Amino acid sequence: MIYKLSAQKTFSSAHALRGYKGKCENIHGHNWRVTAIVEGRKLNNIGMLVDFHVIKDILSGVVEPLDHTNLNEFSPFDKINPSAENIAGFVYARMKKALKALGLGAVKLAEVTVWESETSSAAVSE
């Protein structure tokens, strides 16, 4: 069996899409929602894959610096477009690194989804 856990965090920020022809080339804001899903096959001795607090803390540490910023001024989005796809990739890479640093070998980051509205999202996985 594969067990999957998810955690969500939200943040608010502004961005403008460089090279985009339309309204989104102008600075505008979103209330972003980020969902991270981890998975694994082996539960620990108390029947958990990993404590939800661990996943939430990692996710918080990754998205907190993005809150109430102009993403176009925040690295790496000062060089790459702060699209939902690139934000999802940013969160995914940092979460994967943090999970590895904690030595959670039985836990794999399965997917990160970034919602820029209630109806529009971008997801990244390997």
Residues classed as catalytic: 24, 68, 111
Give the Cα separation of 113 and 58 in Å (integer).
Answer: 15
13-10-84 Cα angle (round to 5): 60
Q: At 57, is the secondary structure helix, strand, or coil?
A: helix
Write the secondary structure of 58-99 as one string of H (helix), E (strand) and C (coil). HHHHHHHHHCCEEHHHCCCCCCCCCCHHHHHHHHHHHHHHHH
